[in-house]
Structure 1
Amino acid sequence: MADPKKDDFLDDIADAEAEELAAQMAEGPEDAAGGTPTGTAGEDELAALAAERDQYKDRFVRALADAENLRKRADKERREAEQYGGSKLARDMLPVYDNMKRALDAATEEQKQASAALIEGIELTMRELLNVFSKHGIDVIVPQVGDRFDPQMHQAMFEAPVPGTKAGDIIQVAAEGFLLHDRLLRPAQVGVSSTPAG
């Protein structure tokens, strides 16, 4: 006949083991050494997917930044082409301006009176040329005798000692210069005093 005390004792042990097992399962799996919990296969896969997602996100952000930089560069090149695309044609037109100016400057008062219609035609053509220059952002650099030489805007064609001037003063203007927007098309050609300051 079975001993009821022994059966109760065995039931108590089984209940205690079941409770301990349930507590272990609630805490999570442990490694073989009985130490800290290890990731399951699902957790490892989730971590790999998160890493891959971060990698794609980083590549996407870089691609967006590259596309934005490319758009900005193309926009800048387009604006420069609009502003400076005609610089070769503008340079080729400068001798036309120079020759018309020389023709007007060379005409004496008697010639102007005798050929008033011709002179007026040249002046009107010159004004129209200057209007076209202005329309396309071309400005004339007109230095005056006595101005200081500026190597950014002027080209020294010669130097000569001139009494009553300082070294670096402009003593003659051979040809006017031109700017296309903020770029120098041609420096003004000038003569510069070499007389030492004193």
Structure 2
Amino acid sequence: MAEPRDEEFLDDPEAVEAEAYEAEMEEIDSEEAEIEALRAERDSFKDKFMRALADAENSRKRADKQRREAENYGGAKLSRDILPVYDNLTRALDAAGEKTEENAALLEGIELTMRELVNTFRKHGIEPITPKVGDKFDPNQHEAMFEAPVPGTKSGEIIQVSAEGFMLHDRLLRPAQVGVSSNQG
């Protein structure tokens, strides 16, 4: 079929209508493509935003956890360094023996100092581990300083406590130093 000339085209209303319809469809296709491109860009930005939001939340949680750990365990080194003071006060009380008129004031001073130290420990989350003779040895809380066969005991039983241990909140600050029975019966 031959191409219509411009005059013929103008005279044919159906051709004009078809041409307008075709132009309108091309415009709609172009707009739909543009809308799809905008939707894809929106989805990409939304995904990036959600990832950034999750990263920020994770960073906040991590910083909060680190702050809590620093608050709870930041003084662990100082706490370990003060434990010998506790040990020495305990030894002083043990060495002093019975309270007499001559040593009453000295013993009272040591006891008050010891009480204040224990209160300060508790205030900062430090709790003593005080095993007793006859308790079962726990490698998570006790350090075996020696093993010895002691009649009347079972293997793995604590036979002597050399030094108390300490926990800092839920972490072991220092294990209790103990002697353990090595009886095999």
Are residues 1:120 and 2:108 paired? yes
Q: Which residue of 1 aligns with 2:150?
A: 162
Query: Partners in 2 of 1:75 and 1:100 — Cα distance?
Result: 38
Are residues 1:62 and 2:54 paired? no
- Higher Rg of the two aligned structures: 1
Q: Which of 164, 176, 180 is the matching residue for 1:176? A: 164
Backbone CA RMSD of aligned residues: 2.3
Give TM-score, length-normalised by structure 2. Answer: 0.85
Matched residue pairs, number?
173
Q: Give 3-state SS (helix, strand or coil) of 1:40's partner.
A: helix
Are residues 1:152 and 2:140 paired? yes
Query: Partners in 1 of 2:114 and 2:54 — Cα distance?
Result: 50
Q: Give 3-state SS (helix, strand or coil) of 2:134's partner.
A: coil
User: Which blocks of at least 5 consecutive residues in structure 1 are unaligned?
Assistant: 1-13, 31-37
Q: Which residue of 2 aligns with 1:193?
A: 181
Give TM-score, length-normalised by structure 1. Answer: 0.80
Query: Partners in 2 of 1:94 and 1:112 — Cα distance?
Result: 28
Q: Which residue of 2 aligns with 1:95?
A: 84
User: Which blocks of at least 5 consecutive residues in structure 2 are unaligned?
Assistant: 1-11
1:18-97 alignment runs, 5 A limit? 21=18, 25=21, 29=25, 40-97=29-86
Q: Give 3-state SS (helix, strand or coil) of 2:94's partner.
A: helix
Q: Which of 109, 132, 156 is the matching residue for 2:120? A: 132
Query: Partners in 1 of 2:181 and 2:123 — Cα distance?
Result: 35
Q: Give 3-state SS (helix, strand or coil) of 1:158's partner.
A: strand
Query: Partners in 1 of 2:90 and 2:68 — Cα distance?
Result: 32
Q: CA deviation at 1:29?
A: 4.2
Q: Give 3-state SS (helix, strand or coil) of 1:114's partner.
A: coil
Q: CA deviation at 1:112?
A: 4.2
